[in-house]
Structure 1
Amino acid sequence: MSQRFETLPHRRAIIDRRALADALAALPAGEDLRGRATPLLRDALAAGREEIARRLIERPSAGNETAASYAFLTDQILRLVFDFTLQRLYPRNNPSTAERLTLAAVGGYGRGEMALHSDVDIAFLTPWKQTAWGEQVIEAILYTLWDLGLKVGHSSRSLDDMIRMAKSDLTIRTALLEARYVWGDQALYDEAGRRFNSQVVDGTARAFVVEKLGERQQRHDRMGDSRYVVEPNVKEGKGGLRDLHTLFWIGKYAYQVPTVGELVEQGLMTAKELRRFRRAENFLWAVRCHLHIVTRRAEDRLTFDVQSEIAQRMRYADRPGKTAVERFMHHYFLTAKEVGDLTALFLAHLDERFASRGRRLGIPSLKRRPRKLDGFLLDRGRLAAPSDGFFAEDPVRLLQLFALADFNEVEIHPLTLRQAARDTRLIDNAVRADPRANALFMDVLTSPRDPERVLRWMNEAGIFGRFVPDFGRVVAQMQFDMYHHYTVDEHSLRAIGLLSRIEHGTLESDHPLASRLLPQLVSRRALFVSVLLHDIAKGRGGDHSVLGAEVALKLGPRFGLTGAETETVAWLVRYHLLMSDTAFKRDLSDFKTILDFAGAVQSPERLRLLLLLTIVDIRAVGPGIWNGWKRQLLTDLYQSAEEVLRLGHKQRGRSERIADKRAEVAVELGWSRQRFDAHVKRFPDSYWVAEGTDILERNARQIAAADAGDKPLSIVAQYDAQRAATLVTIYAGDHAGLFYRIAGAIHLAGGNIIDARIHTTRDGMAIDNLLVQDPFGQAFDDPHRLQRLASMIEDALANRSQLASKLAAKPSARTRADAFTIEPNVLIDNKASNRYTVVEINARDRPALLHALAYALFQAKVTIHSAHIATYGERAVDVFYLTDLTGDKIIAPARIKTLAKLLVEAAGGVPAKRERVAA
């Protein structure tokens, strides 16, 4: 029996192999003997799993024991099946030397670790070419295992085949590295082990190390290359179980040790690091085992919909300011960080052993040698401390270490990082107040090179959080929503990295305006500090913008900022959401929106700073969040506000802007003066302000074509590269309920409306411009999809599509969003616009939400002039600019109350009473 299983308590309560073997032996001979044995084995397997699950409930953090228990149970089942097959189904009294067979566990099962739904990876080994008897036995064993519902990964090889394939395939070599004898011919298994070590492993350790490290990096790239994604993969993600396995594979291959503990004797780990390894492994296995039980499948991604249940199963409780699930995930991310620390230290030891003299594994040599290191040393191109007490002599050196690494563009030796992490306690209030230490920190934060990389090292070592305790409070802190992809500290570091890349010009195609503005800044230091601090107060139970501004006022002077810089940082942190809220939730064609925003910003420099902070904040949320439409809105808002803020802006007012647009459109159309003037007279001034000149031109051509053909309805859907969306324009006779029908049809066609501008001509026609994306935030650009979109809208407006019943039959919301409770909230504001009542609805996002809200507005007998749709993960924020049917604001208290009631019900999913023609 594996040593891993010897410490399992009450093994016979999991499965009594002897009693079960007796029951199988007692089965009378006859037809379908295997079929009659299967129920006995299936019941034993189910009972064993039930017992293991019960133990996990009693001891929810016993990860290693649970993983070993599942492997032990599988071992016993395999032994029973093996013996039953050889003794009862295909007995051989005098087997030949070629008819020897051994069964080995490989991969994770070989390590003696499994979760409930893990694959059972096994290898059948034979001395030479497979015999007919051996084929029958293996086939019968596999059929029995499949009948038991086990997911079996298997191979059948001779010893020569095993050696040949292990030499040529890294995956096979790694699986065999962890091979463990389960049952069968022991001598044959021992011979396989000897040949594997002598013919495959010997002399190839360095190549194996390099290959496994490359494989590890590819896996990290595939999984997002961050251990701080808020829905981490427990097995494959960075900082997960696979990273621990990789360390053991490399150590076992290089030193040929059977257990992790023996790596201590080889000097690859200290006893303390081994305890950290086992603690991290135990926690991650506990999470994975709970995850398989909760999801009832081989699921290794810790998604939002299961995080709360697993936190409850593992007995995390709510604490002031932090829920149980947030505490659980905080523990998870700290464990992932621990795995990262162990990995760095382990690789440092490997460098010492396997790298060529004076060089490192796969790392190029330095381009230039640093001249001034202030007492630090270079060890194979990495910065190192010269002695164990170096930091204790002057704790400011803990900051100087990272400043030198940044300035000289060198890495820090992992053993020195371990020394720095050990000495973090030396950073006290005196060090935090030391001007030298703060100047060094600011050198790193505002570095013109790669501040993200060095700040990340500082964070991994624990220096960052110790030197800036407010930052330490958000380290590994998750944001329990579907919008943010990373923990708070990871988000902030990524934002700093993005700002640096914009400054270097590497993102100019994505951010042309930001790339042009950043070199013009007077307050560059203030910008970098504000990016660092914008989310510093998350998790404190209040408005993180307000609380963060207070932190900024405290930290600014300490960092060496001037009074003006500190005030700027505090303002940016306080209002870091102002620009995105205005751009994505308000009508930028309403001049009062621009005036209110410019009044809050007050200066062109603040406007530039706020734009840059807003861009990196949004983009650092996660992949797929930033798009061309958001860039367009922010650019429009910036340019409109800049015009208001710059000197002499009053010389050019609304009427001049409208005249300029009309003149530009007239040139593009090339129409006669008389024809164009007739077109102009059909529209109010608000139409010319709201739309860009490109859309104004498209609208004019579409209207002219429809009128010339005497078409009562014209629908044009075309890809708009500038806005990264599909522009859908509907020209139709204006009537009540037009918008909700359009919204429903677009949803049925698989589209999401991200912005809507609704206009009515003076002769009673509606011209609606809608920007539409697919559920993945991409534009519809396939001609067939565009045609289907137009057809669905046409059918809905002609009442041919049974809209209500089709919407009701649509699948419900995503299950991951069900993990969040968001109470619908309706805000009605008559001050945000001079002409319209502005209504903002916050609700949990779901399919056809916009259609439901638009239908509620139809019931309330109001006119929609524009709609602005923003989605933040599971949360939707939809804003409508409304008037009553006479074109006035909605001010009567009774009407406002009714409007709010209808919208709250619609947002909450209460079915609305349908008019008959809507069917």
Structure 2
Amino acid sequence: MAAPLNDAADDAAWSAEARTALAQSDARLAKRFDQGEDVDRLLALRARSVDHLLKAAWTRCVPAGAPLALFAVGGYGRGELFPHSDIDLLVLAEPDAQEASHDALARLFAMLWDAGLRASHAVRSPVQCTEAAADLTALTAMLEARPLMADERAQAALAVAIATDKVWPARDYFVAKSEEQRARHARFGDTSDNLEPNLKEGPGGLRDLHTLAWMALRAFGVRELQPLIGLGHLGADEAAALERERRVLVKLRYGLHLVAGRGEERLRFDHQKTLAQRLGYADDAQNLGVEQMMQGFYRSAAIVRRINDRLLQRFEEQFDGAATPEPLDGRFELRRGYLAARDNAWPHADIAEVFALFAMWAAQPQARGLHSHTARALAEALPSLPAYASATPELRERFMALLRGPQPVKTLERMARLGVLGRWLPAFAQVSGRMQFDLFHVYTVDQHTLAVLRNLAIFASGTADERFAMAHEVWPRLRKPELLLLAGLFHDIAKGRGGDHSELGAVDAREFCAAHDLSEADGELVAWLVEKHLLMSVTAQKQDIADPEVIHRFAAIVADRVRLDYLYLLTCADIAGTSPKLWNAWKDRLLADLYTATRLALRRGLEHPVAAAERIAENRDAATDLLIAQGVDAAESDALFARMPAESFLRERAEQLAWQAMSLRGTEPGATVVRVRELAGHAGAFEVFVHSPDRDGLFASIVITLDRLLGLAIQQARALDGPGGTIFDSFEVVNADPRYAPGAAQIERSLAAALSGPLESIRPSRRTQPRHLRHFRIAPQVAFDASPDGRRSMLSVVCTDRPGLLADLAHVLRKQRLRVHDARIATFGERAEDVFLIGDANDQALDDTQQQALRDALLARIDGENDA
């Protein structure tokens, strides 16, 4: 470095030189990181290099002997400085010295910023430090103060200023920090198993470890967790586990800063693959490298949370004292509301005691949780807990008793969180923390499984949930609810092994049921549910369940009403447990309709499939009865039905037919009618009905209007040709953006107004693809098949989903002068799978030339070419 000078030009030269030196140092550290050097050493080295620059700048700006002291605080004070972390500084000085040194300090901080150091600073006297420490965050930063240019007198003054007798006594600090952590966890949904987790602030992240260290420092005066072992608050095994997982998290965060090129703390999709490659993770036959990396993070976060909970509980007892135990029986008691084994030597190497603990816990809903000492004893006993295959019949029976007892889902959740379920069922341990690098599965496999089980618990509660139309009615029909719990536990347990996870999981389930002495019939039911757990979802979303032949084929696979009940509940729980955004009113209604139609087919008997004529007659009679109940006589009903497509009586429900007929009542034949109604019990979900004289591009115009003007996501579309050159189009839609939620009346007005003008002016808008979709591009596929009757063409489009996709596809169909007669819209995370029944201008199937022209136009539009 150049010698200290005082003019602005020389300060700028110094800062530029410092910036270059810092960049060179960072580059060397990055190279050493990639070579596998210990990350703690790299953090210390970066802090040391910044220390050197700071001290040089201080010497340059602050006169020798000035009554000022400089401290590093916060993470920098700990001596941990990540590649792009800010540096937090405290200047300790009395008010008169602050005023006298104002210009020198301003010059100092300007030079640091010019040198590329994002310095956050505070200038305070000891009294001002005490005042500032009333803020919990400010106090916490000062707790970790490390002297840079400060003598012992200044260090002592700062220590006195923030001592427990002046501000935040140890217990108050503990309570406040505990609540702060609870609120922070809540911001992340109280789970570390997010697709884009925050390594620093998220549950089980580095901030949880920092919080424990701050509490230990405030309460016991120790700057590390290791001394807590001697104080009896932390086991040596727990300390070792926390240190091991801290190293994992620190390495991930250091690497994330490098690949992001900034102080990024959230492990976004943008960086996950790059970081995994940088850390040396490689794809194998079963898992992508990025999935392996993320699984390591999730497992580390789970261990940090588990031990964090225990240590917080011990701190609480340290501050408040141990309350008088409340005995529950000869083995267990409540201590301060926590369930505890009465004998400190529990479980005496008796694994049956572990299941007894969970049974007692289930019988004590008022328990706050598991006492920390018992939780640690349980953790120590885990290695001796056998897998079910090598366990005794008595232990297997105890496990099944838990599933048949009170709160079985809560018990399975607890067993999973504490590591017991993974020991008992090794296959579950294999999927614990296992993520799938897509947008369809927003949870790890184990957390998804637990979410499915929680949904089943909702069904079992007996209380109707408006999200599920029929689940609470179907649940009481189950002969043995524990069989459905087992199916939920096993349905995804073979993910990541290669092959069909449904088939592999069915093998696992069959073996498990046999080992636990379930009857052959019960075991086969569980295995069948696991093997077919996607059947109902795929049938409902990808096939026309208004077609009697589809219902007959599905019913033939299901075979009986017992299986149907179980499969329906499992399907609802599975879809709703895959993503909070995936379950909606349309899927609920679709599955309920499939369930009802299949139950009727099974009651009728599979040897008596419903013929089209019979279906039409039944629907027409039922719709007539509904109209008569609304004051429409039989003659007028017939007249209204005559204006409707004959096919609608085959494809639609009686209640839907009656609603459409009432929409036509009082209108002239051929008039344009737009009606919208909200689906019962589902806010933000609507059925849209449009009757109009047919015009080229009408279907596309409706789709574009619903998408572009009203922000509605189309879930299903049906376009039928009516008498006299009219169309009967119906759509089921949901609000795509909850911030903008039009009501039924607004949708009617906007759509009617748009269709009253020239259709050519209605064009899809171009939108920017959301950030997260850029990392999940699917090669688009366009395929054609003949319709079952051979008269029209079936168009299938599979591609990456994005806002406005359906509007774009419909626009292409309009430009190709093609007619749409039916559409099934299915989205699975980032994957869109749309099927259209189309015909040419003469309503005939497309020939090879027409198919190729349409394929080319669709692929161009999907790839972003704007032909509007």
Aligned to 2:61: 85
Q: CA deviation at 1:480?
A: 1.6
Maintained 8 Å contact 1:66/1:289: no
Q: CA deviation at 1:270?
A: 3.5
2:259 paired residue among 270, 289, 294: 294
- The code of the aligned residue for 1:310 comes to L
What is the rounded CA distance, in whole Å, between the counterparts of 1:654 and 1:902 in structure 2? 40
Matches within 5 A, 1:505-544: 505-506=462-463, 508-544=465-501
Q: CA deviation at 1:213?
A: 1.5
- The code of the aligned residue for 2:256 comes to L
Aligned to 1:472: 429
What is the rounded CA distance, in whole Å, between the counterparts of 2:96 and 2:668 in structure 1? 82
Are residues 1:47 and 2:24 paired? yes
Distance 1:910 1:222, change over 3 A: closer
Aligned to 1:142: 109
Q: CA deviation at 1:448?
A: 2.9
Farther off after superposition, 516-525 or 528-537: 516-525
Scaled by the length of structure 1, what TM-score is found? 0.85
What is the rounded CA distance, in whole Å, between the counterparts of 1:351 and 1:58 in structure 2? 43
- The code of the aligned residue for 2:733 comes to V
Maintained 8 Å contact 2:502/2:532: yes
- RMSD of the alignment, in Å? 3.5
Distance 1:896 1:657, change over 3 A: farther
Matches within 5 A, 1:523-672: 523-647=480-604, 653-664=614-625, 666-667=627-628, 670=631
Maintained 8 Å contact 2:216/2:223: no
What is the rounded CA distance, in whole Å, between the counterparts of 2:785 and 2:532 in structure 1? 20
Are residues 1:743 and 2:684 paired? no
- The code of the aligned residue for 2:772 comes to R
Q: CA deviation at 1:896?
A: 10
What is the rounded CA distance, in whole Å, between the counterparts of 1:706 and 1:878 in structure 2? 34
1:421 paired residue among 364, 379, 404: 379
- The code of the aligned residue for 2:639 comes to A
Matches within 5 A, 1:21-420: 23-25=2-4, 27=5, 29-30=6-7, 34-59=11-36, 62-87=38-63, 100-128=67-95, 131-166=98-133, 168-184=134-150, 186-200=152-166, 204-358=169-323, 369-371=327-329, 373=331, 379-385=335-341, 390-391=346-347, 393-409=349-365, 410=367, 411-420=369-378
> What's the secondary structure of 2:123's corresponding residue?
strand
What is the rounded CA distance, in whole Å, between the counterparts of 2:674 and 2:397 in structure 1? 61
Q: CA deviation at 1:185?
A: 5.4
Q: CA deviation at 1:597?
A: 1.8
Q: CA deviation at 1:899?
A: 8.9
Aligned to 1:733: 693
**What residue ranges of structure 1 are gaps of 5+ in the alignment?**
1-19, 88-92, 360-364
Distance 1:695 1:112, change over 3 A: farther
Maintained 8 Å contact 1:400/1:437: no
- The code of the aligned residue for 1:133 comes to A
Farther off after superposition, 647-656 or 859-868: 647-656
- The code of the aligned residue for 1:743 comes to V
Q: CA deviation at 1:356?
A: 2.6
Matches within 5 A, 1:850-889: 850-854=806-810, 863-882=819-838
> What's the secondary structure of 1:766's corresponding residue?
strand
Aligned to 1:14: none
Spell out, residue by residue over 1:60-82, the C-alpha distance to the aligned partner (whole angstroms, 9 max, x if none): x7433343344334333333333
Spell out, residue by residue over 1:888-908, the C-alpha distance to the aligned partner (whole angstroms, 9 max, x if none): 778x8x589759955983686
Maintained 8 Å contact 1:727/1:771: yes
Maintained 8 Å contact 1:586/1:879: no
**What residue ranges of structure 2 are gaps of 5+ in the alignment?**
none
> What's the secondary structure of 1:473's corresponding residue?
helix
What is the rounded CA distance, in whole Å, between the counterparts of 1:81 and 1:792 in structure 2? 68
Distance 1:412 1:110, change over 3 A: same
- The code of the aligned residue for 1:439 comes to E
> What's the secondary structure of 1:199's corresponding residue?
coil
Aligned to 1:771: 732
Maintained 8 Å contact 2:540/2:594: yes
Maintained 8 Å contact 1:446/1:528: no
> What's the secondary structure of 2:81's corresponding residue?
coil
Maintained 8 Å contact 2:812/2:858: no
Spell out, residue by residue over 1:457-509, the C-alpha distance to the aligned partner (whole angstroms, 9 max, x if none): 32233321221122222111112211212111111112212211321245533
Maintained 8 Å contact 2:624/2:634: no
Q: CA deviation at 1:778?
A: 7.9
Are residues 1:444 and 2:444 paired? no
Aligned to 2:716: 755
- The code of the aligned residue for 1:113 comes to E
Distance 1:239 1:640, change over 3 A: same
Q: CA deviation at 1:820?
A: 2.4
Distance 1:799 1:250, change over 3 A: same
Aligned to 1:500: 457
Spell out, residue by residue over 1:71-122, the C-alpha distance to the aligned partner (whole angstroms, 9 max, x if none): 33433333333332224xxxxx775xxxx22222222222222333323222
What is the rounded CA distance, in whole Å, between the counterparts of 1:602 and 1:352 in structure 2? 58
Distance 1:51 1:716, change over 3 A: farther
What is the rounded CA distance, in whole Å, between the counterparts of 1:272 and 1:164 in structure 2? 40
Are residues 1:905 and 2:863 paired? no
- The code of the aligned residue for 1:164 comes to E
Distance 1:138 1:213, change over 3 A: same
2:648 paired residue among 658, 662, 687: 687
Maintained 8 Å contact 2:387/2:425: no
What is the rounded CA distance, in whole Å, between the counterparts of 1:400 and 1:840 in structure 2? 55
> What's the secondary structure of 2:432's corresponding residue?
coil
> What's the secondary structure of 2:25's corresponding residue?
helix
- The code of the aligned residue for 2:176 comes to E
Q: CA deviation at 1:398?
A: 3.2
What is the rounded CA distance, in whole Å, between the counterparts of 1:751 and 1:792 in structure 2? 17
Aligned to 1:813: 769
Count of residue pairs the alignment pairs up = 860
What is the rounded CA distance, in whole Å, between the counterparts of 2:748 and 2:639 in structure 1? 31
Distance 1:796 1:821, change over 3 A: farther
Q: CA deviation at 1:566?
A: 0.7
> What's the secondary structure of 1:267's corresponding residue?
coil
Aligned to 2:759: 798
Q: CA deviation at 1:531?
A: 0.8
Q: CA deviation at 1:530?
A: 0.5
> What's the secondary structure of 2:470's corresponding residue?
helix
Farther off after superposition, 743-752 or 189-198: 743-752
Maintained 8 Å contact 2:624/2:637: no
Distance 1:771 1:140, change over 3 A: farther
Distance 1:145 1:242, change over 3 A: same
Distance 1:658 1:572, change over 3 A: same
- The code of the aligned residue for 2:57 comes to V
Aligned to 1:16: none
What is the rounded CA distance, in whole Å, between the counterparts of 1:250 and 1:314 in structure 2? 33
Q: CA deviation at 1:301?
A: 1.6
Maintained 8 Å contact 1:553/1:566: yes
> What's the secondary structure of 2:121's corresponding residue?
strand
Spell out, residue by residue over 1:372-400, the C-alpha distance to the aligned partner (whole angstroms, 9 max, x if none): 54xx5655554445667654643333333
